[in-house]
Copies of this chain bind each other. A is one copy, B any other.
Amino acid sequence: MNALPVSQRPFAARESKNAIEEGAAFAPKFGADGLIPAMAVDADSGAPLMLAYMNEESLRQTLEAGQAVYWSRSRNEIWHKGLTSGEFQDVEEILTDCDQDALVLRVRQRGGGCCHTKRATCFYRRVVVDEAAESPTVQLAPSSLVE
């Protein structure tokens, strides 16, 4: 048994490209701003819910809590989603990509919904290109993935 709680254990160092892509070490890459993007999707349907960011501390807290803990770029602070709204995201699984610079969180969304607009997902609109329009527009997405 490791003496340190999960929230205090270091992530692995980023060794060779091969180790990052094929090895067993979890060595997430945080950007120049100290953040890694995390896409939350519904654990059952795979529907996209939201895209947010984590710093090292919030990722460690996510692993320990089993709930999504992000870094709020607007408030510049740790953001345990749901603490004020009740809209917690219970994390079923965290996926990482080949170069370990992005995360996908398969979550079960609690409460009224993921989005602060009270919708089930933040991705409620699709981009539409109308040949006659000056610029592309958005409209509510009929996609079955969103409903």
Contacts and interface: CB of A to CB of B under 8 A. Distances in A.
Interface of A: 1-2, 6, 9-12, 21-26, 37, 39, 41, 45-48, 50-51, 63, 93-98, 100, 102-104, 106, 115-117, 119, 122-129, 131-139, 141, 143, 145-146
A12 B95 contact: no
Contact of A135 (B9, B51, B95, B102): B9
B9 A136 contact: yes
7 contacts: A2-B133, A39-B39, A95-B141, A96-B138, A98-B122, A102-B122, A106-B143
B51 A102 contact: yes
B24 A138 contact: yes
Contact of A63 (B45, B117, B127): B127
A141 B51 contact: no
B51 A95 contact: no
A50 to B, nearest CB: 7
A74 to B, nearest CB: 9
Contacts of A100: 138
A80 B94 CA distance: 28
